[in-house]
Amino acid sequence: MRLKSFLKSRLMFFLVIADTASMVLCVAVAYLLKFESFSGLLGEYGGKFIFFLLVDLVTTTVCFLLFRIYERVWQYPVFNDYSDLFLGFLVSKLVSNLILYKHWDKAFLTWFLTYFILSGVAIITIRLTLRWVYNFLQEKKIRQSKEKSAGKIKVMIIGAGEAGRMIMSELAGNRFHYTHKVVAIIDDDKKMHGKYLSGIKIYGGRDKIIKVARELEVDEIYLTMPSASAATIKKILEICKQTDCKLKRLPGMYQFINGQLTATQLKDVEYIDLLGREPINVDLNPVFMSLTDKTVLITGGGGSIGSELCRQIAASKVVRRLIILDIAENGAYDVQQELKGRYPELDLVVLIGSVRDEGRLDEVFSEYRPDIIYHAAAHKHVPLMETSPKEAVKNNIFGTLHLAQAADRYDAERFVMISTDKAVNPTNVMGATKRVCEMIIQAFNRTSKTDFVAVRFGNVLGSNGSVIPLFKEQIANGGPVTVTHPDIIRYFMLIPEAVALVLKAGCFAKGGEIFVLDMGTPVKIAELAENMIRLSGYKPNIDIEIKFTGLREGEKLYEELLIKEEGIQKTTDDLIYIAKPTEIDSLELFTKLSDLENNIEHFTRFDIIDKVREIVTTYRANNSEYNEHKQSIGVMN
């Protein structure tokens, strides 16, 4: 900033001196044209002309300062700059004449008109010359930089604002100077088109991105618009991904406002940037009021959903105690260290244990007496559970059952279970076990003082084992990117958004509800793969192959959020709905669960699927081995 101010002050000084010199010269030339010699100027008229010149110089300089003429960027002026220059010049001459009108002689009228024209032309010429010289030097610099940039990564900057300038300064001043070269700038401000910023030409608006990227052989595009809306970002990225350039963007406004932006903070463009919607903002004040001075237990607190539940609840700073229960010690440890660092005043208890273990659950509940339970512990990977249905049943079904029994036994206020869209008309073991969990929740709610509810939603972007991290790893390894089917679609939501809505849904709980989150528009996974490849700077099926592997065991093309007979009703939140409860025979349910639990160690995996199907009548197993087994014994799925 100091260098910028220094250069600006030097330019102002140069223009003041140039304007002064030009007016002195114009006085002399106009006199010579009128009187054909300087004899009178050196004699009887000398004092009068010197007085006139001093008055005119002072009034011109003052008027130009008042009209901010010397603050304009004359390297690339606009129409308003010239109109203000003309107005300032005209006012200065009128003021001069008002001061000097008593001293006028009719003989000098033609001289003054000549001087007026000459000085006006001179002042404009100075600025036109400045612009021409600046452009000439910039073009020369560009030619030289092109020669020097051979072998460097060519960068296009989108956004000629302060953030873009900061990034350009970083690229020019640190280690990137040796590997990266900014060759073009794009900005939608038409006043900037054709001008130069730090020697780099602003080629035009977003409509020029593809053309300029191809002509200049751009390798990477940096989107430096931290305050742009999600919709604007999406439109620009839709254009950028057609260039086959690698895309990066700034993290956001916070770093920009605090002056923390550096080139190292540029991040790869994520798929979420192409969703074209603003993050969902959820008013969590009612939730935090309901959690005030409560002891909250989160099972599976080290996982993707569980850890985000921990973060948002800890950030509220209203709970009496937060308890994390997880069988995976690494995830639990990571969350513990994060929360201890951020919220040292938080009463945090991290326990290792499984929801399968009734004894361990009884120890936890008897010692800590949790008021609110968020149950996020579960086996969730569809293909893995197809080959290990016994583990899915033990963890998902009986883990939920034992946890619900403990919550009921110790009079917890509320029990919120995380469910999934795969529980609707399930075609896999994981979804079917989650549907059983929903049935358990609804059955317990009928007789318990505890409010039991479930929250059902689809996939979350970036969760452990989800498709986004998998695609990233496959792209980094050079492909292929594997998609099960060209037509498969899924619902997606950000983890913080889904968790915020889970918390809000829990606040609506009266008992027995299955809350359904509005997941927006479903996404075609094949298009997701193509976009991620393009955003990484590669061409789908040219640089990196997209390979269709076929639907996995238990997988279906389309996920559903509602069971047909459930229906749906609105809540006061536009993104949260309530599925109408289905009729459940609690006695029959618990009888079948007891039989399954008592004999599970003796059942084959096909027997277990049969038992789960007896409980969940909408379960249609999409498992080739199971279906072949059923056909071999003469039974159809």
Q: What is the pLDDT of residues 52-98, one digit of tens each?
A: 878 888 888 888 888 888 777 666 666 777 788 888 888 888 888 77
The H or E element that residue 170 is part of is helix 162-173
**Which candidate in 248, 422, 434, 504 is catalytic?**
422
Residues 6+ apart with CB under 8 A from 262: 170, 174
pLDDT of residue 341: 92
- Number of domains comprising the chain: 3
Of 431, 320, 440, the residue nearest 375 (C-alpha)? 440
Are residues 65 and 94 located together in one domain of the fold? yes
Higher pLDDT pick, 280 / 588: 588
Beta-carbon contacts of residue 429 (< 8 Å; ≥ 6 apart): 382, 385, 386, 389, 392, 393, 554, 609, 612, 621, 623
In a domain, 226, yes or no: yes
For the question of residue 380 being annotated catalytic, the response is: no
Residues 88 and 173 in one domain: no
Same domain, 568 and 485: yes
Q: What is the mean pLDDT of residues 229-254?
A: 74
Q: Do 39 and 159 lie in a common domain?
A: no
Quick one: pLDDT at residue 73?
64
The C-alpha R_g of the chain, in whole angstroms, comes to 37
3-state secondary structure 495-537: HHHHHHHHHHHHHCCCCCCEEEECCCCCEEHHHHHHHHHHHEC
* Cα-based torsion angle of the residue sequence 536, 537, 540, 544 in order, rounded to the nearest 10 degrees: -80
Residue 620 lies in a domain: no
Q: What is the pLDDT of residue 191?
A: 84
CATH of the domain at 265: 3.40.50.720
User: What is the pLDDT, as a whole number, of residue 267?
Assistant: 54
Domain boundary among 104, 133, 162: 133
Residue with more model confidence, 580 or 427: 427
- The reply to whether 509 and 580 lie within a common domain is yes
Report if residue 623 sits inside a domain.
no
- Domain of residue 464: give its range: 285-615
Q: How many other CB atoms sit within 10 Å of the CB of residue 543?
A: 15
Final residue before a domain boundary, out of 246, 274, 302? 274
Joined tokens for residue 626: 């199971």
Give yes or no for residue 418 having a pLDDT over 50: yes
pLDDT tens digits for 344-379? 999 999 999 999 999 999 999 999 999 999 999 999
pLDDT given for residue 527 in this prediction: 82
Give the DSSP letter of residue 112: H
User: What average pLDDT does this structure show over 216-244?
Assistant: 81
The predicted structure's pLDDT at residue 573: 67
- Strand, helix or coil for residue 252: coil
Give the contacts of 340 (CB within 8 A, at least 6 positions apart).
346, 348
Indicate whether 629 belongs to any domain: no
User: What's the one-letter identity of residue 194?
Assistant: G
Q: Using alpha carbons only, what angle is made at residue 169 by residues 165 and 174, rounded to the nearest 5 degrees?
A: 155
- Asked if residue 606 belongs to a domain, the reply is yes
Alpha-carbon gap, residue 399 to 451, rounded angstroms: 18
Q: What is the pLDDT of residue 150?
A: 56
In a domain, 388, yes or no: yes
Question: What mean pLDDT comes out for the span 445-465?
Answer: 81
Strands 569-570 and 576-579 come out as antiparallel
- 470 and 597 inside one domain: yes
Same domain for 107 and 126? Answer: yes
622, part of any domain: no
- On whether both 570 and 435 belong to a single domain, the answer is yes
Residues 301 and 321 in one domain: yes
Of 238, 619, 309, give the one whose Cα is nearest residue 436: 619
What whole-number distance in Å separates Cα of residue 530 and Cα of residue 536? 10
Quick one: tokens of 236? 């620009």
Cβ atoms 257, 285 nearer than 8 A:
no
Q: Are residues 125 and 170 in the same domain?
A: no
From residue 471, alpha-carbon distances to 496, 528, 601 in Å are 21, 9, 37
- Specify the pLDDT at position 297: 97
**Most confident segment among 174-183, 200-209, 483-492:** 200-209
Contacts of 337 (CB under 8 A, 6+ apart): none
In the chain, DSSP finds a helix count (H) and a strand count (E) of 23, 22
Instruction: Measure CA of the first residue to CA of the last residue in the chain; give whole Å.
Output: 73
- Bridging pattern class, strands 523-524 and 489-490: antiparallel
Q: What's the helix, strand, coil split of the chain in %, to 5?
A: 55, 15, 30
Q: Which two tokens stand for residue 273?
A: 């940037």
- Dihedral sign computed on CA atoms, order 250, 255, 260, 264: negative
pLDDT bin (cut points 50, 70, 90) of residue 254 is very low
Distance of CA 551 to the CA centre of its chain: 31
Tokens of 438: 């929903």
- Positive or negative, the CA dihedral 615, 616, 620, 626 is negative
- Please write down the HEC assignment for all residues of 536-602: ECCCECCCECEEECCCCCCCCCCCCCCCHHHCCEECCCCCEEEECCCCCCHHHHHHHHHHHHHHHHH
496 and 402, same domain (yes or no): yes
Whether 339 and 204 share a structural domain = no
- Give mean pLDDT, residues 137-166: 72
Averaged confidence pLDDT in the chain: 81
Q: How do 414-420 and 372-375 pair as beta strands?
A: parallel
Strands (E) located in 224-294: 246-249, 267-268
Q: Is residue 142 domain-resident?
A: no
Span 272-309, pLDDT tens digits: 655 545 566 777 888 888 899 999 999 999 998 999 99
